[in-house]
Chain A
Amino acid sequence: MDFKDIIAKLPYSEPFLFVDEILQADENGITGTYTFREDLDFYKGHFKNNPVTPGVILTETMAQIGMVCLGIYLVGNDLQKETVVAFTSADMQFLKPVYPNEKVTVTSQKTFFRFGKLKCDVVMKNEAGQEVCKGIVAGMITTKL
């Protein structure tokens, strides 16, 4: 599958799409990037006069690249119009702050993908190569819940 096709098949759009580019994908994992533009709406309020990317947004970015994009790649041609993605769990550590205009790279390693559940170990690094966030995400990628 062309990596651009993965992004086209994502069920998200602005302002809730947190994937810019997929760099690599195979049966075992995926790597992708996203840049947190300074005009993203949540920076106005998180925090007042001190914009820092919220942990929930980092978690969402990890899930979109590391779990949903990988899931779309793994499901491949079996992806149907009825296919739904449900984010079912996250266990995250936030190691460093991520500021506006930072570009992050998310790398995900599949733990398992069975019976529609995809579970992954995910790491997010900043442009300096430092780990900013890491954890475990899981979701159901299925035509029925």
Chain B
Amino acid sequence: MNKDELIAKLKTIIKPYTTNTDAYDNLTEETDFINDLNINSANLVDIILDIEEAFDIVIDNPEMERMLDVKSAVEIIETKLASK
């Protein structure tokens, strides 16, 4: 899976949890889950659990705390997929 495909998959996971459609439609690697997409900490947990299921990976606490924007989420998912 290349990075664009990964971001596209991530985007479908995020969709039900965001209320900011402008920021969602214009999502880039710099997009911040909390500040740009208006996702709260509870829904961020849901997104991370959905990521685990969709990519068949396990995220730990320190990684979860870093997953605050698209860029770091992509990095963590790529690292996890590479080590499978």
Contact = CB atoms under 8 A, between A and B. Distances in A.
Interface string A71-104: 0000000000000001011000000000000000
B49 A140 contact: no
Interface residues on chain A, size class: 10 to 19
A116 B41 contact: yes
Interface string A105-145: 00000001011110000000000000000000011101001
A139 B40 CA distance: 11
Nearest to B48: A115
**Helix, strand, loop or mixed for chain A's interface?**
strand
B23 to A, nearest CB: 21
22 contacts: A86-B42, A88-B42, A88-B43, A89-B42, A112-B49, A114-B45, A114-B49, A115-B48, A115-B61, A115-B64, A116-B41, A116-B45, A117-B41, A117-B42, A117-B45, A117-B46, A138-B42, A140-B41, A140-B42, A140-B45, A142-B41, A145-B41
**Helix, strand, loop or mixed for chain B's interface?**
helix
Interface of B: 40-43, 45-46, 48-49, 61, 64
A2 B41 CA distance: 31
Closest 8 CB pairs of A and B: A88-B42, A117-B45, A115-B45, A115-B64, A140-B42, A117-B42, A145-B41, A140-B41
